[in-house]
Amino acid sequence: MLKYFFLYLFILLAIIQPVSSQIEPPNYDFSLDTLADFYPGKKFNDMEKKYGKGELTLKETIPIYKFYVAHIRYKFPVFVRIFNGESVSFFARLPSYFLHDVFHQSLINRYGKQDEYTKIENMAVYLWKNKDNIKFIYQGQCTLNCFPMYITGEMVQPPENFPGTTGILQSFKVR
């Protein structure tokens, strides 16, 4: 009987010990400054110096280039629409291991509370209408946990002689 008691005690201690460990979210050290390199108004040459040659992804009237940003052991794509050597909009497909709560809070800390919020089933879209002539759209989704899907930024006032709108989401058929 005493033998079984010590066996149960050992199993119980083995289970409880890892539960008391502190777990940090994987994106706790990700900074929005990383994405700021692609914000509208940033120079294309500076992006290529820091992230390597951009891959021409869509050759429309205004070309879209793809760059990769490394975080921990994962690279995620950032698509940038370039006009006259400068970014007019960007689209970043964020890693699914990022936690929505942490990423959304960092956006709130940087840009204030969102101007609009829409929730459809397990998806939420957040909109900041005009922060330094940039409109930000962020989407998060939830299944068992919540994670970011993408963030995009586009110029509110397009540059002179710019054909059409600066939005990049339509190019990828994102609703």
What are the residue boundaries of the structural domains of the chain, listed by start?
26-172
Does 70 have pLDDT greater than 90? no
Contact yes or no for 139/147 (Cβ under 8 A): no
| pLDDT confidence band for 28 (50 / 70 / 90) | low
3-state class (DSSP) for residue 63: coil
> Which class for 112: exposed (0-12), middle (13-18), buried (19 or more C-beta within 10 A)?
exposed
For tokens 């891959």, the residue is 55
> What percent of the chain is predicted at pLDDT more than 90?
35
How much is the pLDDT for 143? 84
Cβ 89 vs Cβ 151: under 8 Å: no
Q: Per residue in 72-114, pLDDT tens?
A: 777 889 999 999 999 999 999 888 778 888 888 888 988 899 9
User: Does 131 or 28 have the greater pLDDT score?
Assistant: 131
- pLDDT per position as a tens digit, 132-154: 889 999 999 988 888 889 999 99
Which DSSP letter does residue 43 get?
B
The pLDDT assigned to 126 comes to 93
Measure the CA–CA gap between 65 and 48, rounded to whole angstroms.
10
Determine the longest span between alpha carbons in the chain, in angstroms.
Answer: 86
pLDDT digits (tens, 9 = 90+) for 29-57: 677 788 889 999 999 999 999 988 988 88
Count other Cβ atoms within 10 Å, centred on residue 72: 11
For the cut 60, the answer to whether the pLDDT of residue 59 exceeds it is yes
Q: Is 144 exposed, middle or buried (0-12, 13-18, 19+ CB in 10 A)?
A: exposed
Torsional sign, CA 102, 107, 110, 112: negative
> 166 vs 84, which has greater pLDDT?
84
Q: Model confidence at 158, in pLDDT bands (50, 70, 90)? A: confident
Q: Give residue 62's pLDDT band: very low, low, confident or very high (50, 70, 90).
A: confident
Other CB atoms within 10 A of residue 149 CB? 17
Whole-model pTM: value is: 0.79
> How far lies 134's CA from each of 9, 48, 100, in Å?
59, 22, 21
Q: Is 139 exposed, middle or buried (CB count within 10 Å of its CB: 0-12, 13-18, 19+)?
A: buried
What pLDDT does 17 receive? Answer: 58
